[in-house]
């Protein structure tokens, strides 16, 4: 099938450029890309270079696959992701996850910028995602199932690794970083949610809301990967504070959390 051929071609291109495939990949969300600057022995591949790879169009997403070491651990880092609101299909959003699976990646660390729905949160908080809510009816698994990756009907009862969440909590305690834990709600965007939508999400148990991550988590779970996802709460969601929402605020708050975010990720990598 053409789609599988595209995945294999992309994976072959990356394999030819790197020395060995690591176990772990990290995806950096809006404003969190500076972690990639701290990697050593880097090989950088821009997304347009990779056959059939989507291209990031959002400010704060560098659009590079970076291979190298962080804290002495070999990783693949994706500085930038793809969103449904950019015009990509769910299969295109999920494409890179399946490429990582074909490469041999076993653990996936996902990060994002999110709005705080829980009124006990504040901009700058880090939240370990324990579960998610997805209303949007489209799915990266819709259509023909690819048995190469996983079963037709895959379990979603425990997709966020309890072991990795506990490991992240341990790292946070060691570095005196306050981390929250909660449920992430996926909304397709690009408009921010209305105050009524945020009230609805709060009633349903959401602690944060964003426009990414969940399609990738569904795909990675289907592929049998071990997953941890971390949200940087960059703003309070609509209606909580009497101010308008903007991407500039999201980007600036994410940058301000750089030090503790970097410590947390580095610590996780050391213990993983």
Question: What mean pLDDT is predicted for residues 35-60?
Answer: 88
Spot the catalytic one: 197, 212, 220, 221. 212
Cα angle, residue 134 at apex, residues 207 and 76 outer, rounded to 5°: 85
Mean pLDDT of the chain: 90
- Residue 31: predicted pLDDT: 63
Q: Is 251 left (phi over 0), alpha (psi -120 to 50) or beta?
A: alpha
**pLDDT > 70 in the chain, percent:** 90
Tens digit of pLDDT for each residue in 102-136? 999 999 999 998 999 999 999 899 999 999 999 87
Please indicate whether residue 61 is annotated as part of the active site.
yes
Q: Which two tokens stand for residue 204?
A: 């349903």
Given the residues 36, 86, 208, 229, select the one marked as catalytic.
86
Place of tokens 């592929």: 223
User: Considering only CA atoms, which of 217, 206, 199, 164 is closest in space to residue 184?
Assistant: 206
Does 52 participate in catalysis according to the annotation? no
**What are the structure tokens assigned to 173, written together?**
């305690």
The single residue of 112, 118, 231, 235 carrying the catalytic annotation is: 235
Cβ 209 vs Cβ 187: under 8 Å = yes
CATH architecture of 2-271: 3-Layer(aba) Sandwich (3.40)
Q: Does the annotation count 248 as an active-site position?
A: no
Does residue 212 carry a catalytic annotation?
Answer: yes
Active site residue 30: yes
Q: Is 64 helix (H, G, I), strand (E, B) or coil?
A: strand
Half-sphere exposure of 172 (CA within 13 A, CB side): 17
Position 57 confidence tier, pLDDT thresholds 50, 70, 90 = confident
Read off the pLDDT of residues 215-263 as tens digits, 9 standing for 90 and up: 999 999 999 999 999 999 988 776 566 666 666 766 677 666 788 888 9
Segment 73-102 mean pLDDT: 94
Q: Would you list the domain boundaries of the chain? A: 2-271
Catalytic annotation present for 246: no
Catalytic residue among 247, 249, 252, 256: 247
At residue 156, the pLDDT reads 95
144-198 pLDDT per residue, tens: 999 999 999 999 999 999 999 999 999 999 999 999 999 999 999 899 899 999 9
Catalytic residue among 12, 85, 130, 139: 85
Kindly name the residue from 10, 62, 83, 84 that is annotated as catalytic: 83
Name the CA dihedral angle for 233, 234, 239, 242, rounded to a multiple of 10 degrees: 140
Task: Give the HSE-up count for residue 169: Cα atoms under 13 Å, Cβ half-sphere.
Answer: 12
- pLDDT computed for residue 246 by the predictor: 63
User: Could you say which of 10, 11, 25, 30 is catalytic?
Assistant: 30
Phi, psi of 178 (to 5 degrees): -80, 120
* CA 170, chain centre distance (Å): 21
211 is catalytic: yes
Asked if 175 is an active-site residue, the reply is no
Identify the active-site residue in 39, 56, 61, 236.
61
Residue 6 designated active-site? no
Q: Is 113 a catalytic residue?
A: yes
Find the radius of gyration of the CA atoms of the chain.
17
Catalytic residue of the set 25, 172, 211, 221: 211
CA 178/CA 58 separation, integer angstroms: 29
Q: Report pLDDT for 61.
A: 56
């Amino acid at each position: 099938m053409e789609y599988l051929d595209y995945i294999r071609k992309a994976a072959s291109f990356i394999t030819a450029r790197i020395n060995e495939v690591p176990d772990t990949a990290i995806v950096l969300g809006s404003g969190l890309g500076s972690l990639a600057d701290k990697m050593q022995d880097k090989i950088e591949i821009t997304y347009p270079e990779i056959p059939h790879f989507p291209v990031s169009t959002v400010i704060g997403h560098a659009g590079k696959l970076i291979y190298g070491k962080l804290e002495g651990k070999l990783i693949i880092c994706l500085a930038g992701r793809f969103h449904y609101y950019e015009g990509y299909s769910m299969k295109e959003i999920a494409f890179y996850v399946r490429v990582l699976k074909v490469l041999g990646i076993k653990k996936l660390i996902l990060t994002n910028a999110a709005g705080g729905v829980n009124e006990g949160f504040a901009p700058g908080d880090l939240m370990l995602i324990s579960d998610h809510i997805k209303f949007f009816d489209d799915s990266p698994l819709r259509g023909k199932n690819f048995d190469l990756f996983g079963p037709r009907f895959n379990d979603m009862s425990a997709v966020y690794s309890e072991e990795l969440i506990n490991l992240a909590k341990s790292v946070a305690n060691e570095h005196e970083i306050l981390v929250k834990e909660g449920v992430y709600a996926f909304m397709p965007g690009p408009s921010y949610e209305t105050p009524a939508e945020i009230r609805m999400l709060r009633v349903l148990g959401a602690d944060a809301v964003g426009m990414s991550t969940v399609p990738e988590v569904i795909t990675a779970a289907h592929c049998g990967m071990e997953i941890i996802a971390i949200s940087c709460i960059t703003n309070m969601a609509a209606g909580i504070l009497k101010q308008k929402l903007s991407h500039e605020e999201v980007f600036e708050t994410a940058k301000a959390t750089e030090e503790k975010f970097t410590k947390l990720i580095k610590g996780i990598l050391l213990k993983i």
